Amino acid sequence: MNFSIYATGLMMGLSLIVAIGAQNAFILRQGLRNEHVFAVCLACALSDAVLIVLGVTSLQQIARFMPWLDPVMRYGGAAFLAWYGTKSLYSAFRSSATLSAAEAKTSSFRQTLATCLALTWLNPHVYLDTVVLLGTISTRYPEQQVSFAAGAVTGSFLFFFSLGYGATWLRPIFSKPSSWRMLETVVAFTMWIIAFKLLGGM
C-alpha cells in the first residue's frame, strides 16, 4: 500500500462528492429526519465503492463494449430526477405549520432504501465521477491503482457518514416548518437542475 497515492485517492474522492447533488441532498434530509441514516449512508458508500473499483479496473472495456449505456442512463436518470424534484416541491407546499423532525418520518425502510439506490444508480453523474473520472485518474498510477482506489473508497465512507450523522447538529434549525419547506424546495430545484444538465448532455 502506497500511502501517498492512497492520500491522493482519498482527496480526489472527497473533492468529487462534496458538492451538493441529488444523492447528498437526500442523505442530508434523512439525517435531519434521523430516518434510516445508517442504512442510507452505508448504501451510498458501498455503491460508490463498487463503482470506483469498476472504474479503476474496467473503464476502457466498459466504454468499448457498451456505447449505448450513456444515452440510456442520461434520459432515464433525468426522468427520475424530474419526478423526485416534483415530489419534493409538492411536499414543501403541503407542509403544515406543525411539521417537525419527528413528524417527518413517513417513509418505510424499503421505500427509503429504494429511493436512495435509485438516486445513486440512475444518476449518470455518479458514473461520471466514480467510474470515468476516478478511473481515468487512476491510470496515472500504474501498479498502484489498488492504493488509489482504497483512498477514494475511504473518502466516500467518510463523507457520507459525516453528512448523514452531522446533519443532527442542524436539527434545531429544522424544527421550524419554514426550514423544512425551504429544504424541500432546494432539493426540488437541485434535482431539476441536474435533470436539465443531463438532458443537455452536460
Largest CA distance in the chain: 58
Tell how far CA 142 is from the center of its chain.
28
- Residue 149 vs residues 20, 23, 57, 77, 171: alpha-carbon distances, Å: 22, 21, 9, 26, 34
**Cell numbers for 169:** 447538529
One-letter amino acid at 49 equals: A
Model confidence, pTM: 0.69
pLDDT of residue 160: 93
- 102's torsion region: left (phi>0), alpha (psi -120 to 50) or beta? alpha
pLDDT digits (tens, 9 = 90+) for 79-114: 877 887 887 788 777 754 333 444 445 678 999 999
Q: Please work out, in degrees rounded to the nearest 5, the angle formed at the alpha carbon of residue 177 by the alpha carbons of 111 and 189.
A: 60
Cβ–Cβ under 8 Å, residues 28 and 200:
no
Distance CA 105, CA 202 (A): 35
Window from 109-118, 133-142, 153-162 with minimum mean pLDDT: 133-142
Tell how far CA 128 is from the center of its chain.
12
Cβ–Cβ under 8 Å, residues 39 and 113:
yes
Which carries the bigger pLDDT value, residue 56 or residue 133?
56
pLDDT digits (tens, 9 = 90+) for 172-186: 776 677 776 787 787
